[in-house]
């Protein structure tokens, strides 16, 4: 699948956004911090008998093990249970079939939990295919008060950058899990874990990059443009434009606007000199230098008072 030449990150305006822009970094978030609790939580359906389930548990389970000595794969009656006790268990509904199903479910739960714990420190970079989605501006860019960063992916190859698939299916069968290593990028579990979301999220048209370590990483794609939201404060725009212009003169800036008569957005290039002349009065610009120095986030740049 061909990676788009440009991908986008919607952000609210804050110190973290400024520091990542200036340091040319991107943030890989841990999956458990996602706003959708169903994201990156594939379930396992047991389509195998108990004997094969033991193989699955041995391969992917945690330190706890549930043993079975039944050659047929069915769960044997424990020799420690007397006939009278067994009769009482059956009377209470503990039939061999119910116990067999319950045990398979316990194995599935243990394997799922152990696999998720394997990737607990991994990180996911989420990017969007387009910049003009009103819902994305509302959800991720402070209700159109933030900005959208355009990354240029035209001159680099990213093996783990893949498009998210949107489907109702969140599960994987035990036989599918056994068919390929869970750590293989070609395995179905890997795809379900990192690259699958519910169809209700399809408007995001998301692409993801994966890292074994979460947190900040250098961005291999350069920032080519910054788009400012409909409600973005002129002082915010001025701060970002002045700061990034001093770091990389090739970055362009655009102002998002509404298309008359339609629920659609457009963007027009911003001329920095004209913008400053038309919008700024006196000291109308934010100064984050002192705060970021105290927080240890200043890096190699300084935003001077204007």
DSSP string, 96-158: HHHHHHHHHHHHHHHHHHHHHHHTTT-EEEEEES-S--HHHHHHHTTTTTSEEEEEE-TT---
Strands 43-45 and 265-269: unpaired
Residue 64 confidence (pLDDT)? 40
**Residue percentage of the chain with pLDDT more than 90:** 46
| pLDDT recorded at residue 50 | 84
Q: Give the bridge partners for 48, in sequence order.
A: none
Q: What pLDDT digit, counting tens, does each position of 224-267 carry?
A: 999 999 999 998 999 899 889 888 989 999 999 999 999 999 99
**Residue 230: CA atoms inside 13 Å, Cβ hemisphere, count?**
17
Phi and psi, residue 208, nearest 5°: -130, 145
Q: Partners of 256 in the beta sheet?
A: 267
Average confidence (pLDDT) over 55-68: 62
Mean pLDDT of all residues belonging to the chain: 81
**pLDDT per position as a tens digit, 142-170:** 999 999 999 999 876 666 799 999 999 99
- How many other CB atoms are there within 10 angstroms of residue 228's CB atom? 25
pLDDT of 289: 47
User: From the CB of residue 55, how many other CB atoms can be counted at a distance below 10 Å?
Assistant: 12
> What pLDDT does 97 receive?
76
pLDDT greater at residue 74 or residue 29: 29
CA–CA gap between residue 54 and residue 65 (Å, rounded): 8
Q: Report pLDDT for 290.
A: 46
Q: Is the pLDDT of residue 288 over 80?
A: no
**Predicted confidence (pLDDT) at residue 124 exceeds the cutoff of 50:** yes
Looking at the predicted structure, is the pLDDT value of residue 139 above 80? yes
Taking the CB of residue 239, how many other CB atoms lie within 10 A of it? 20
Q: How high is the pLDDT of residue 294?
A: 41
Q: Which residue has the tokens 């230098």?
A: 289
SS3 (DSSP) at 91: helix
């Amino acid at each position: 699948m061909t990676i788009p030449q440009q991908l986008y990150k919607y952000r609210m305006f804050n110190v973290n956004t400024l520091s990542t822009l200036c340091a040319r970094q991107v943030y890989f978030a841990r999956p458990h911090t996602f706003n959708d609790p169903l994201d990156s939580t594939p379930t396992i359906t047991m389509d195998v008998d108990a004997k094969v389930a033991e193989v699955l548990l041995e391969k992917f389970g945690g330190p706890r093990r549930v043993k079975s000595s039944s050659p047929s794969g069915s769960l044997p009656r424990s020799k420690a249970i007397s006939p009278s006790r067994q009769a009482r268990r059956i009377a209470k509904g503990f039939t061999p079939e119910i116990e067999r199903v319950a045990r398979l479910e316990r194995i599935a739960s243990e394997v799922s939990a152990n696999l998720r714990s394997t990737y607990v420190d991994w990180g996911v970079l989420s990017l969007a295919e387009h910049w003009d989605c009103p819902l994305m501006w509302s959800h991720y860019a402070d209700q159109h008060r933030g900005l959208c960063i355009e990354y240029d992916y035209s001159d680099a190859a990213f093996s783990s950058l893949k498009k998210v698939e949107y489907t109702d299916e969140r599960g994987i069968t035990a036989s599918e899990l056994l068919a390929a290593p869970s750590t293989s990028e070609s395995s179905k579990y890997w795809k379900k874990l990192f690259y699958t979301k519910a169809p209700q999220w399809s408007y995001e048209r998301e692409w993801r990059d994966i890292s074994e370590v979460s947190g900040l990483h250098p961005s291999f794609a350069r920032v080519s443009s910054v788009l400012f939201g409909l409600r973005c404060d002129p002082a915010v725009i001025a701060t970002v434009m002045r700061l990034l212009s001093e770091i990389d003169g090739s970055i362009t800036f655009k102002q998002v606007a509404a298309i008359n008569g339609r629920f659609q957005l457009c963007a027009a290039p911003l001329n920095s000199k004209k913008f400053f002349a038309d919008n700024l009065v006196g000291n109308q610009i934010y100064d984050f230098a002192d705060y970021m120095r105290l927080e240890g986030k200043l890096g190699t740049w300084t935003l001077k008072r204007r």
